[in-house]
Amino acid sequence: MSNKFLETRNVTKTFGKIKALDDVNFNLYKGKIHGLLGENGAGKSSLMNVLSGIYQPEKGSIYLDGQKQKILSPDIASQLGIGMVHQEFRLVESFSIKDNLTLSKSNIYKDNFLKSFKKYSEIFALNVNENEIISDLSVGEKQKIEIMKLIFNDSNIMLLDEPTAVLTPQETSQLKNSLVTLAQEDMKTIVLITHKLKEIKEFTEIVSVMKNGKMVAKDLPTKDVTDNQLIELMMGTVKTSTVDKDNKIGQIKLNVENINFIDEVSNIKKLEEINFQVKSGEILGLAGVSGNGQVELANIISGIEKIFEGKIIINNKDVSNKGVRSRKKLNLSYIPENRLGVGLAPGVSVIDNSIVRDYFHTKLGPHLSKNKTSNFLESLIKQFSIKAPNPKAEISTLSGGNMQKLLMGRELVGDPDVIIASQPTRGLDVNAVDAIHNLLIDQRNKGSAIFLISEDLDELFKLSHRLLVIFEGKIVKSFNTTDANINDVGLAMAGASE
């Protein structure tokens, strides 16, 4: 590996007390496809944002073609030929393809637009007219336009943030071919950010791995590293604290049978043949990188998503055709991943948010008893030690931990038979995490059947009896946490086949 095309030296970026990037060295080589691997929150996106001028690092420097550069804004990045495709597309939806591609002032194909558009349409296997409006395109087509936009803006370094997350398997292999062509023929330097080992293997020549804001391995030739090595680098050593798991396990409380689900908007199969049972007193973990179907599964079990194939059985009652409320009456609780926005309503008071699950129990005809609701909140605050001094204050004035305790408390207070807890500790500090874990264990000991959806392997190993791994909407593996190897779980999460 000869000349470094782009190099970062000792780049550090902090947000408050958190080091998002810690002394990061990273190299890119001209005409190669690079992989950047790491868990959520490892610092991949922060690094890309530094390269594309969105963040300014506190320390460190960036060299492009041997020249030191200060990338103070996305504009400067684009002048230097660095472009990024974000996970959320940045296209003008109401404009045509042509207008989007020629929008930027750094555009280089204004004069012979049609010829270049034809050329790259061929490379991307894109069969649409340049006058089509963006909002009429499919997700896959939009993404092709996003990548094409970088080419039209003369970007030589193309940063792609999880480009395959929105694509079907066929589209993914198509994308691979296009990227290889771009690297070989146009000498484009490409960075692919992903959690999927399979894509690292198939797409890239060089791979770097990040963990906790640090670059733990760089410039590895992809063909020489094994999946196991990559997983070990990516996961590091997981501290496997554990709790007593010899509690009494009882009857089946939740039975999920043959769930298939196709997303209506993208027409992508999000869930395939999902089968499992959770028993009273048991915690079943679902491990997986976000976006592999977890939200859809939780929504189907809780009754929010109504159109699916298969059966949901709670307490021996088939509730597949029933709504949210009748499942709640069977004593199901759902702690959604999206705390503020789904679990709690922003702009609404603490007290209103505290009775979302039980308000129909506290009403007297059309009247909502003020006494009953404020007593309810008071008991929640006491029982779950929530800091919420003013019941009438807007919910978002509480800290993240207190919001989550209010949400958990509200859902757990009736000793539910079945609990679906989705990413219950994400973004919380250590003390809050412990408090939430203890709540779940207490509830388990009281006989609840708990389905715990998480990305945090430490949490899953600590709490659950059994573990399922979901990847691209399928349960790819199941483990007994007492004798499972954490790297095997990591490999399954990253989609590595045996």
Told to check if 35 binds another protein by CB under 8 A, we report no
Q: Which is nearer to another protein, 10 or 390 (CB)?
A: 390
Q: Residue 216 to residues 236, 269, 428, 491: CA-CA distances in angstroms? A: 9, 35, 25, 18
Residue 198 beta carbon to another protein: minimum distance, rounded to whole angstroms: 33
Residue 325 beta carbon to another protein: minimum distance, rounded to whole angstroms: 4
Q: Which is nearer to another protein, 346 or 414 (CB)?
A: 346
Q: Which pair of structure tokens corresponds to residue 422? A: 């989705």
Q: Rounded to 5, what percent of the chain is helix, strand, coil?
A: 35, 30, 40
Backbone angles phi, psi at 217, to 5 degrees: -160, 135
Told to check if 324 binds another protein by CB under 8 A, we report yes
Residue 390 beta carbon to another protein: minimum distance, rounded to whole angstroms: 6
Told to check if 325 binds another protein by CB under 8 A, we report yes
Print the binding letters for residues 359-398 with another protein: x by CB under 8 A, - otherwise.
xx--x--xxx-x-------------------x-xx---x-
Told to check if 249 binds another protein by CB under 8 A, we report no
Which residues, at least 6 apart from 88, have a Cβ–Cβ distance to it below 8 Å?
none
CB 402 within 8 A of CB 387: yes
Q: Which is nearer to another protein, 387 or 446 (CB)?
A: 387
Told to check if 1 binds another protein by CB under 8 A, we report no
Residue 395 beta carbon to another protein: minimum distance, rounded to whole angstroms: 8
Residue 249 beta carbon to another protein: minimum distance, rounded to whole angstroms: 29
Told to check if 323 binds another protein by CB under 8 A, we report yes
CB 193 within 8 A of CB 48: yes
Q: Is 414 left (phi over 0), alpha (psi -120 to 50) or beta?
A: alpha
Sign of CA dihedral 195, 199, 201, 207: negative
Q: Which is nearer to another protein, 25 or 362 (CB)?
A: 362
Residue 368 beta carbon to another protein: minimum distance, rounded to whole angstroms: 5
Q: Which pair of structure tokens corresponds to residue 139? A: 């997700």
Alpha helices in 52-105, H assignment, sequence order: 74-79, 97-101
Q: Residue 153 to residues 15, 102, 324, 487: CA-CA distances in angstroms? A: 31, 8, 49, 42
Q: Which stretch binds another protein (CB under 8 A): 96-104, 268-276, 336-344, 475-483?
A: 336-344
Choose, by CB under 8 A, the member of 26, 334, 384, 479 that binds another protein: 334
Residue 1 parent element (H or E): none
Told to check if 343 binds another protein by CB under 8 A, we report yes
Nearest to 230 by CA among 197, 258, 257, 261: 197
d(CA 195, CA 215): 15
Told to check if 342 binds another protein by CB under 8 A, we report yes
Told to check if 348 binds another protein by CB under 8 A, we report yes
Residue 49 beta carbon to another protein: minimum distance, rounded to whole angstroms: 15
Q: Which is nearer to another protein, 188 or 328 (CB)?
A: 328
Print the binding letters for residues 284-313 with another protein: x by CB under 8 A, - otherwise.
------------------xxx---------
Residue 224 beta carbon to another protein: minimum distance, rounded to whole angstroms: 42
Q: Which is nearer to another protein, 68 or 387 (CB)?
A: 387
Cα-Cα end-to-end distance for the chain: 31
Could you tell me whether strands 206-211 and 33-37 are parallel, antiparallel, or unpaired per DSSP bridges? Answer: parallel
Residue 279 beta carbon to another protein: minimum distance, rounded to whole angstroms: 26
Helix, strand or coil, per DSSP, at residue 41: coil
Told to check if 336 binds another protein by CB under 8 A, we report yes
Choose, by CB under 8 A, the member of 346, 385, 414, 434 that binds another protein: 346
Q: Which is nearer to another protein, 235 or 388 (CB)?
A: 388
Residue 357 beta carbon to another protein: minimum distance, rounded to whole angstroms: 7
CB 82 within 8 A of CB 71: yes
Backbone angles phi, psi at 15, to 5 degrees: -120, 105
CB 210 within 8 A of CB 38: yes
Number of residues counted as binding another protein (CB under 8 A): 33
CB 411 within 8 A of CB 403: no
Radius of gyration for the alpha carbons in the chain, expressed in angstroms and rounded: 25
d(CA 359, CA 376): 10
Told to check if 347 binds another protein by CB under 8 A, we report yes
Q: Which is nearer to another protein, 66 or 347 (CB)?
A: 347
Told to check if 345 binds another protein by CB under 8 A, we report yes
Q: Which residue has the tokens 């890119």?
A: 28
Choose, by CB under 8 A, the member of 344, 386, 489, 491 that binds another protein: 344
Contact residues toward another protein (CB under 8 A) are 302-304, 323-325, 328, 334, 336, 338, 341-348, 352, 355-357, 359-360, 363, 366-368, 370, 390, 392-393, 397
